[in-house]
Amino acid sequence: MIRLSHGDWAMTVLPDLGGAIGSLTLRGRDVLRPTPDGCDEILLTASFPLAPYANRIDHARFVFEDRKVELPATPGFEPHALHGDAWLAPWAVEAQDAVSVTLSQSHEAGAWPWAWTVRQTLALDEQGLSAEIALTNRSDAPMPGGVGFHPYFLRGPETCLTLAAEKVWLGADLIPDRQEAADVLVDWSRGQVVEAMPFVDNAYALWDGRAEVSDADRTVRLTASANARWVHVYRPQGEAFVCVEPVTHRPDALNAPPGENSGVQTLPPGETLTLAMRIGAE
């Protein structure tokens, strides 16, 4: 575990557990859902990185430039593949000081038939957390790619989520097949009490890159870089969190029909895709 601090902010980072954030606090109060002591389950952490793609791939298969790709289904999420490989393996520490850490992870071609490296830098300043993730294609052929972050925000009985997006993706089995106006599911643009809303596990498109998670005595703000035009909201039943995940593409984007701007980037050899996120509170 790595401990970082800057002024009133403190953070723990878990390189061996998928490069996850273990905790993020302001003046000793949790800003993200904290990881339980001794936990080795990444789905119980405060946040984790997504690469070389985000969210689901339908039945763990797709075709890219006439190449058929079949991935192993992610355990617990069968028959689909979920969130890439970066969250499922340890990360190496490349650099570290009192307020920041840079982690990396490299993969050779396998079921995902391209070699790639991903780096993330997590840093604290007086405004809170800044996070950047960068995916590089190390193969000798173009590679599809996407990145994101998966933060878990604390949710109480009165917690309100506010974000503005134009569209929401809907479909059976959490695999989207159509876009509707964002307010067809939940109109987060007006601010909604999360606990009063139905189950949500959907991507919102044409997002403006900002979100607020607020309670009576505090507002937590998330901002993301301009290429995070999609945000995935996960609001499960009976849990004390809501996820607001900035990502560069929609779910199952690798199976999008020709001509759709699904957000998947084609990375030439040596090229890098980067996404940045900030989380602050007041």
Which is more confident, 282 or 134?
134
* Residue 50, beta-bridge partner list: 148
Range with the poorest average pLDDT among 52-61, 108-117, 174-183, 220-229:
174-183
Query: Of 83, 251, 69, 104, which is closest to residue 174 (Cα–Cα)?
Result: 251
Amino acid sitting at position 92: A
Which SS3 state, helix, strand or coil, does residue 138 take? coil
User: What is the structure's pLDDT at 250?
Assistant: 97
pLDDT of residue 63: 97
Residue that the structure tokens 């939940």 belong to: 186
Mean pLDDT of 185-202: 95
Kindly state the percentage of the chain with pLDDT values over 70. Answer: 100
Assign domain 2-281 to its CATH architecture. Distorted Sandwich (2.70)
Q: Taking a C-beta distance cutoff of 8 angstroms, is the pair 13, 22 a contact?
A: yes
| Three-class SS state of 185 | coil
Structure tokens at 75: 């355990």
Q: Give per-residue pLDDT as tens, 205-241.
A: 999 999 999 999 999 999 999 999 999 999 999 999 9
Q: Give the pLDDT band of residue 172 (cuts 50, 70, 90).
A: confident
**pLDDT tens for each residue of 62-105:** 999 999 999 999 999 999 999 999 999 999 999 999 999 999 99
pLDDT at 173: 85
The pLDDT tens digits of the residues spanning 33-45 come to: 999 999 999 999 9
Q: What is the pTM of this model?
A: 0.96
pLDDT tens digits, residue range 113-167? 999 999 999 999 999 999 999 999 999 999 999 999 999 999 999 999 999 999 9
**Domain boundaries, given as residue ranges, for the chain:** 2-281
* Rounded average pLDDT over 256-269: 95
Burial code of 23-56, b = ≥16 C-beta within 10 A, e = fewer?
bbbbeeeebbbbbeeeeeebeebbbbbbbbbbbb
